[in-house]
Amino acid sequence: MTQMLSRRSFLKLSSAAAAVASLSSIPGTLGALEESQKQLKGNAKYTPSICEMCTSACTIEAKVEEGKGVFIKGNPADKSRGGKICARGSSGFNQLYDPQRLVKPIMRVGERGEGKWKVVSWDEAYTFIANKLEEIKQKHGAHTVAFTARSGWNKTWFHNLAQAYGSHNLFGHEATCPLAYDMAMDDIFENGISRDFGKAKYIINMGHNVFEGIVISYARQYMDMLAHGGKVVTLEPRFSAMAAKSTEWHAIKPGHDIAFVLAFINVLINENLYNKKFVEKYCEGFEELKASVAEYTPEKMATECDIPADTIKRLAREFAKAAPKAIFDFGHRCGFTPQELELRRAMMMCNVLVGAVEQEGGYYLNKGAGFYNKFLGEGDAKAPGLKKPKIPAYPKIAVPRIDRIGEKDNEFFLAGKGAGIVTLIPKATLEDLPGVPYRLHGWFIARNNPVMTQSNMETVIKAIKAMDLVVVFDIQVSDTAWYADIVLPDTTYLERDEEFTASGSKNPGYGVGRQKVVEPVGESRPGWRVAKELGEKMGLGDYFPYKDIEDYRLQQVGDNVELLAKLKATGSASFGVPLLLQDKKSVAEFVKKYPSAASKVNEEGTINFPEKIRLFSHKLEEVSKKGALSYEPYKYKEADELYFVNGKSAVRTNGHNGNNLWLNNLCDDAGVWIHPKTAERLGIKQGDKVEVYNKYSTQKGKANVTKGVREDTIFAYFGFGHVSKELKRAYGKGVNSNALYASFVSPNSGMNLHVVGVKVRKA
């Protein structure tokens, strides 16, 4: 049993959880206010909106039933998700009612992390924060306060506030998750890319577990391609649900994915399996790539990654044969390594080499309004772009950011300024960073939980304790809020409207963002309102030139009321017809609709790539001699240690929904996976309490003895072992994987490191 509890333990557990849930030791929570008993005021019809239980942001519809429950389902208008939703999504309304949810601002009265709080009014909270920020500005400069907010969550509002205040230290959560592959796309394609999993015939998957870290559209596409006889090869140190559905599973050595990919490229090139025509016409840097992988023969790399040379060769041949309906998945989370950027670039290059780009069943460039409009001649309808309200110029800042993005020759130049290298914040607080003439003194964190989600929890907490001000805006007293000075109650996604979103797929798409299903519970307030009100308190009202979110949205669509109406009613809209540049049929259809695009069509009936695809990066070469691909062995563990890796669970994801009643009841300790031989050697049996430990932390969990993990590896799901005592259901249960990892910022990508050495003993 991996995720599910037996009926008996389920009963036992949930009655205990229910007992705990009714206590409310903390002021400002919903349980303390008895407001949970009230009838919900909200929309009795289905309102299209977007889920916020994880970052996949699935399209949903939700309604209030008889003033009591909220039923959430997938938005049937969204074809890619088929109107479906996962367990987390269905559990959304648990957040709304949760007695442990914070609904009033609270201020720390004891030591940081002591758990002593008092309730304050919003006005007191704003005054406190405004004064503290002013104090820091006077003493150290506004730039010494870092602002972290997640995209599509609160970034728009709090990054605006940050810059108005005078800080350019803006961050998202990206460096703890997708940043490296976002950077790799920019480096290679000068554009975002997606994968057409559904139509592929052959997929190589390195630890991208779409069936547990569920992305519904991906899960559906994978099932579809498998049902049509497609093959999936999964390389991952443990046997995940993904591996189980795959055609083949290979238990690759943790942290050594890049060794495999380099050998794979070596085979593609040396055996002439690559698409010469495509490479010559559309790529640059092939010769450099060829030279750089020449030494990485399958024989040499086999011993590194623990995949036989013959297997590497066979997979490369099969992959090339299936092209262009082939995908070397550039992945999502897997064991993050010090060579994160090189790894993702190498994965993407496999697809480029076989020419499986802008084709059905391969990769395609994300076509937002800007990209799409390039192909529409004068007079043809242009894809609508969303506008932004006009905001006055922000104050100029003379010193660099802590990650020095924006400086010439900066190693992280590929990271967007809104993403930043959030993993550097603890370092920039505790140490002097080269070229950064200051340390951080404050951290404003909107719905992000770095204590839980960044590697090496101990260092993150130490940094927080060293700061003059830590503000957290969240729906609960998260692990990070636990150490904050002041915690402001955010609304859940069912209680707020948000800005419209624009995206690019095969053609431009637009989303309604989140829409209010019920009125905010207690005194919770949405991000746009908090940022605006706090800004006004600080005398920065000019930077918020909109009355409310409705006004903001109106300014976004300009006079395009048609788009506005469509978005509100259906949740999403798309523009024009899909376009795949290398697919003759798709190009012909595009030209039929937009005749003026005919001038772009080449003699083969396709459209040339707008930019050369880069197999060698001159810019990376310049900043850190990493233009080519290379293998840099890294010592993750001592000889007497085991590798430790983590992964996503289907019911609990990320740092923020572990305390959800239903989800927690389904899975409160996902266990520590140990190979039977390793377990026997250590005298550990199935279900034993074990300690996983290294120099960074000691974590307790239950042993899951299984052949589904390598003998030299320990696996645990992440998002367990919460440290905030206010997350009463999730507190202390299971292994907190990020506590075990080293505090490490990967060169060029700024990513965390998710492979480390550990030992295991019976607890």
Residues that bind another protein (CB under 8 A): 1-4, 6-7, 10-11, 14-15, 17-18, 68-69, 71-74, 81-87, 89-91, 93, 211-212, 214, 216, 219-220, 223, 239, 241, 243-246, 248-249, 251, 650-651, 661-663, 665-666, 706-708
Using the 8-state DSSP alphabet, how is residue 70 labeled?
A: E
- The secondary element (H helix, E strand) that includes residue 21 is helix 7-22
DSSP class per residue in 181-212: HHHHHHHHHSS-EEE-GGG-SEEEESS--TTT
Minimum CB–partner distance for residue 207 and another protein (Å): 15
Q: By C-beta, is 81 or 700 nearer to another protein?
A: 81
- The secondary element (H helix, E strand) that includes residue 363 is strand 363-365
What CA–CA distances, in Å, run from 670 to 332, 345, 491? 21, 32, 29
- The secondary element (H helix, E strand) that includes residue 469 is strand 469-474
Contacts of residue 1, defined as CB under 8 A and 6 or more positions apart, other chains included, come to none
Q: By C-beta, is 666 or 727 nearer to another protein?
A: 666
Nearest-angstrom CA–CA distance, 26 and 116: 8
Minimum CB–partner distance for residue 654 and another protein (Å): 16
Minimum CB–partner distance for residue 648 and another protein (Å): 11
Phi, psi of 128 (to 5 degrees): -60, -50
Minimum CB–partner distance for residue 255 and another protein (Å): 20
Q: Which residues on adjacent β-strands are paired with residue 488?
A: 473
Minimum CB–partner distance for residue 302 and another protein (Å): 18
Nearest-angstrom CA–CA distance, 738 and 757: 13
What size, in residues, is the chain?
763
Q: By C-beta, is 243 or 307 nearer to another protein?
A: 243
Minimum CB–partner distance for residue 490 and another protein (Å): 23
How many helices (H) and strands (E) the chain has is answered by 27, 27
Nearest-angstrom CA–CA distance, 114 and 482: 8
Q: Which residues on adjacent β-strands are paired with residue 284?
A: 614
- The secondary element (H helix, E strand) that includes residue 187 is helix 179-189
Residue type, 339: Q
Q: By C-beta, is 309 or 386 nearer to another protein?
A: 309
Minimum CB–partner distance for residue 661 and another protein (Å): 7
Q: By C-beta, is 157 or 717 nearer to another protein?
A: 717
Minimum CB–partner distance for residue 321 and another protein (Å): 21
If you search the block for the tokens 């596409």, which residue do you land on? Answer: 221
Residue type, 527: G
Q: Quick check: 482 and 451 in contact, CB under 8 A?
A: yes
Q: By C-beta, is 88 or 439 nearer to another protein?
A: 88
Lateral strand order in the sheet of 69-74: 47-50, 59-65, 69-74
- The secondary element (H helix, E strand) that includes residue 700 is strand 698-705
Q: By C-beta, is 555 or 706 nearer to another protein?
A: 706
Minimum CB–partner distance for residue 86 and another protein (Å): 5
Q: Which of 114, 19, 103, 108 is nearest to 724 (CA)?
A: 114
Q: By C-beta, is 86 or 365 nearer to another protein?
A: 86
Minimum CB–partner distance for residue 223 and another protein (Å): 5
Minimum CB–partner distance for residue 53 and another protein (Å): 11
Q: By C-beta, is 216 or 679 nearer to another protein?
A: 216
DSSP class per residue in 309-339: HHHHHHHHHHHHHHTTSEEE---SSS---TT
Q: By C-beta, is 88 or 108 nearer to another protein?
A: 88
Q: By C-beta, is 553 or 656 nearer to another protein?
A: 656
